[in-house]
Amino acid sequence: MSRMGFWRKKKRIFLDYASTTPVLLEVKRAMGPYFSEHFGNPATLYQEGIDAKKAVEQARKKIARILGSRSEEIIFTGSGTESANLALWGVINSYQGKKAPHIVTTTIEHPAVREVAKAIKAVGGNVTLIHPNENGLVTASSIREALREETILVSVMYANNEIGTVNPIREIGKVIREYKEEKGTSLYFHTDASQAPNYLPLNVSSLGVDLMTLDASKVYGPKGVGMLYARRGTRLLPIMYGGGQEYGLRSGTENVAGIVGMAVSLEMATRDREKEAKYLSFLRDYAIEKILKQFPKASLNGSCAERLPNNINICIPGMNAEFAVYLLDALGISVAYASSCRTLAEGASSYVIEALSKKECAVSSLRITMGRGTRKNDIDVLLKALPSIVLRAR
């Protein structure tokens, strides 16, 4: 397992891998030829286009093998956010029932799902939001209770991007499948699995999902490329119109280099998953233990057991988390206090942590997420800095 397969600045400590990851050198090398050498448009009929199309289809087949799916069930998009939008709007727009469509999702989803749910409600759809339990987990029973005749879609994230909790997707998929069989209804199950590939299995049949969102930038691949798995037979309408690429569901010239890079990054994540999880679990548990000893009133947000190996989300009462992030940045340490997709617009409050009934912690929690480049010494530097940072940020 390569731990230095990417460029890394020596003087800074990056501990926000949930927001993005560096591109592995192996991925960068695989992408290289498709910028200038094999630059053809996959939609053209001459040799350059044929070569580009072949690269896209080979990448599609690689990803399909990883997911245990058919290659034609893989739809490339421009990001994980676009993938989630295509999943939700694609199902909603294809709905032909007489009653208003109903979707079930949760209060701790990524903004890519959360904001779409709000928009669907604004145009007349019905939305049920499920709260997690005190450990930050969405239970299968809570999903089952929310289902009704006009429910056409359930969307539950696989692993939370803020608190790192891993939802019981297989159990949720099972209760949805049983409900469909009992009622004879058409109902799809979507999961945003963007945080999952480095640490969790992705076999779509085992998980029982109809739609799955992935984002290359979370798995040591390039930014600007994502994908949606859509099980054969799932009714979707496009949300972008044009040349009809990606089986008519995502128009626009394919990002060939990015698609190639995403396939390689997912292959490497699958190959290294077990070792990476073991290594980062050790660092995670070490850091949590030390922080809780440093700050006796601090608490861990989310389940300790059902948690991503790289995620530490700690509430330190009285601390201004946003200010603490700035102070740590000045020392060359990058951490977060909420989803990076939320901090740009909405300030320091975390709706995910609020959903755990820990309102004070929503403004006083730090998210520390590790990755392939993280060393124990990095954690020790953070631990040494925290007492003075917290004192200044109160």
**pLDDT value of position 7:** 41
Q: Go through the domains of the chain in sequence order and give each one's CATH number.
A: 13-23+273-392 (3.90.1150.10), 25-267 (3.40.640.10)
Rounded to two decimals, the pTM is 0.94
CA atoms of 70 and 48, how far apart (whole Å): 26
Q: Is 286 within 8 Å of 376 (Cβ atoms)?
A: yes
Q: Answer for the pair 206, 177: CB distance below 8 angstroms, yes or no.
A: no
Phi, psi at 77, each rounded to 5°: -130, -175
- pLDDT of the residue at 339: 67
DSSP lists the bridge partners of residue 300 as 314
Catalytic residue IDs: 341
Q: Is the dihedral of CA 110, 115, 116, 120 positive or negative?
A: positive
| Alpha-carbon span 100 to 92, nearest angstrom | 10
Residues 6+ apart with CB under 8 A from 89: 116, 120, 237, 239
Reported in sequence order, the residue ranges of the chain that DSSP labels E, i.e. its strands, are 13-14, 74-77, 102-106, 126-130, 151-155, 188-192, 211-215, 226-230, 299-300, 311-315, 333-334, 365-369
pLDDT for res 349? 82
Contacts for 76 with CB less than 8 Å, ≥ 6 apart: 56, 60, 225, 226, 227, 246, 250, 254, 255, 259, 262
* Dist CA 52 CA 32 (whole Å): 13
Name the CA dihedral angle for 52, 251, 267, 207, rounded to a multiple of 10 degrees: -150
394 residues of the chain, pLDDT tens digit each: 444 444 444 579 999 999 999 999 999 999 999 999 999 999 999 999 999 999 999 999 999 999 999 999 999 999 999 999 999 999 999 998 889 999 999 999 999 999 999 999 999 999 999 999 999 999 999 999 999 999 999 999 999 999 999 999 999 999 999 999 999 999 999 999 999 999 999 999 999 999 999 999 999 999 999 999 999 999 999 999 999 999 999 999 999 999 999 999 999 999 999 999 999 999 999 999 999 999 999 999 999 999 999 999 999 999 999 999 999 999 999 999 976 665 555 555 899 999 998 989 999 999 999 999 999 999 999 999 999 999 999 9
